[in-house]
Amino acid sequence: KAGVTQTPRYLIKTRGQQVTLSCSPISGHRSVSWYQQTPGQGLQFLFEYFSETQRNKGNFPGRFSGRQFSNSRSEMNVSTLELGDSALYLCASSLGLAGGRAYTQYFGPGTRLTVL
């Protein structure tokens, strides 16, 4: 089974621009979560989607948004980029929840975003 794929792998943008990152989950997985990884803040949860619905959102400004399509692929968008948005953005997929327990999340290779 193919793993989680993310495109593009690398992006360079300038302040004020917007960016869209894409994530294709493992086949059969309906839950997609996004995380931001920076040297200063570590790994932080952005949001989670399940069956095209956002189920949870982390503590990030409204410039960060996402969506999920009917085939479970997900995109996240960051508008009005700031220097501090430079980070590795990781997508993870899972089967979701069952019996009150979360299924394991499997991560993609990430998209490295650099904001100049």
Partner 1 sequence: GDSVTQMEGPVTLSEEAFLTINCTYTATGYPSLFWYVQYPGEGLQLLLKATKADDKGSNKGFEATYRKETTSFHLEKGSVQVSDSAVYFCALSVPSGNTGKLIFGQGTTLQVKP
Binding interface with partner 1 (CB under 8 A): 4, 6, 33, 35, 42-43, 45, 48, 50, 55-56, 58, 90, 92, 94, 96-97, 100-110
CB 39 to partner 1: min, Å? 10
- Closer CB to partner 1, residue 79 or residue 109? 109
Report the residue number, 17 or 67, with the smaller CB distance to partner 1: 67
Distances (CA, A) of 9 to 23, 96, 113: 11, 25, 8
CB of 82 within 8 A of CB of 14?
Answer: no
Residue 15 CB, shortest distance to partner 1, in Å, is 25
Residues paired with residue 68 on neighbouring β-strands, in sequence order: 74
Rounded Cα–Cα distance for residues 41 and 35 (Å): 11
Minimum distance from residue 80 beta carbon to partner 1 (Å): 25
Please identify, using beta-carbon distances, which residue of 41 and 77 lies nearer to partner 1. 41
Among the listed residues 53, 55, 40, 50, the one whose alpha carbon sits nearest the alpha carbon of residue 85: 40
